[in-house]
Every structure is written in C-alpha cells, then in structure tokens.
C-alpha cells in the first residue's frame, strides 16, 4: 500500500467556541482517497452514506471566478466521490452518497448524517479560506473532506 504524505496541518479558529478546527492538507484529490478511507473505516460500521455538497453559482465565490472554474471544481469532486465510494466498497463497506446543492463555494463530503453536513457547511462558511486546488481533511463532528 503506498504511503501518503500529509502536506500540512493547520488550526483555524472555530466560530462556535474557543477550540480550533484543524485542517490537514492532502494535496490533489487522488491523494485524499486512502487517508479518508482509513479514517472512515476506523470510525464506522460496515454501512455508510456520504453526504456531499455540490456548489451552485454564487457571485461572491472566493474560489470560482467563472462558470468554467465552477464546472471544473464540481467535476473534480464527483470523480473523488466515486473513487472514495469504490475504495470503501472494495474494502467491504456498503458505501453510498447523497448530493446536496449548496451555495457554498466549497465542495464538502461528510461521513455522517445530513445534520453533520449542515453543521460543517455553517462552520466552513465562517472559516477563512486560503487554500485553492487542494483537498483538506477535517473533523467537524464527523470526518469531512473539503475541496477548494
């Protein structure tokens, strides 16, 4: 099994309390499959539903300057979702996913319930974004991947 190097971990202030949200930068989407799979498999049973936001156009988007960039971001995210679901299924986890339209400019995947996804979106809307074209791993009440 190839070793995946984590690029960096950074703590950002949480809007809810004095605790910080820690993001681990994973690099390109292909490097995120294995770390996310391992994290999810260590904390979940043999069945899992991933809740994923799909960004819609937002004129105040900080990472998509035009519709072409938005399309590229969504395409990259959909490929990542399918790669993760396939990796989980090949490891014996009955994985499925739900796509939820969002006006957030970030693609978010949560290995928890819909309420966990809504909470993650709310936290991330208030968290500064200084990454672009990377995948970030965070624990926002459940394991989450964020693509910017």
Could you report the per-residue pLDDT of 117-144, keeping only the tens digit for each?
888 888 877 776 665 677 888 888 788 9
At 46 the pLDDT is 82
Secondary structure of the chain in HEC code, one letter for each residue? CCCCCCCEEEEEECCCCCCEEEEEEEECHHHCHHHHHHHHHHHCCCEEEEEEEEECCCCCCCCCCCHHHHHHHHHHHHHHHHHHHHHHHHCCCEEEEEEEEECCCCEEEECCCHHHHHHHHHHHHCCCCCCCCCEEEEECCCEEEEEC
The average pLDDT across 106-123 equals 84
Predicted confidence at residue 51, as pLDDT, reads 93
Res. 7: pLDDT tops 50 = no
pLDDT band at 11 (very low <50, low <70, confident <90, very high): very low
Q: Could you tell me if 100 and 115 are in contact, meaning their C-beta atoms sit under 8 angstroms apart?
A: no
What's the gap between Cα 23 and its chain centre?
Answer: 11
Q: Domain map of the chain by residue range?
A: 22-147
Average pLDDT value for residue range 27-38: 90
Cβ atoms of 77 and 51 closer than 8 Å? no
Please write the tens of the pLDDT for every residue from 39-57. 888 876 788 999 999 988 7
Q: How many CB atoms lie within 10 A of CB 8?
A: 12
- On whether the CB atoms of residues 85 and 47 are closer than 8 A, the answer is no
């Amino acid at each position: 099994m190839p070793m995946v190097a984590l690029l960096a971990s950074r703590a950002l202030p949480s809007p809810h309390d004095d605790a910080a949200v820690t993001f681990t930068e994973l690099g390109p989407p292909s490097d995120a499959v294995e770390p996310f799979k391992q994290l999810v498999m260590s904390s979940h049973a043999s069945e899992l539903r991933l809740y994923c936001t799909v960004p819609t156009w937002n004129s105040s988007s900080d990472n998509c300057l035009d519709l072409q960039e938005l399309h590229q971001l969504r395409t990259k995210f959909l490929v990542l979702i399918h790669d993760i679901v396939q990796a989980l299924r090949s490891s014996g986890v009955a994985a499925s996913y739900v796509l939820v339209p969002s006006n957030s400019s970030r693609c978010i995947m949560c290995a928890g319930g819909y309420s966990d996804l809504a909470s993650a979106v709310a936290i991330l809307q208030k968290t500064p974004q200084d990454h672009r074209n990377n995948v970030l791993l965070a624990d926002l009440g459940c394991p989450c991947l964020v693509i910017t």
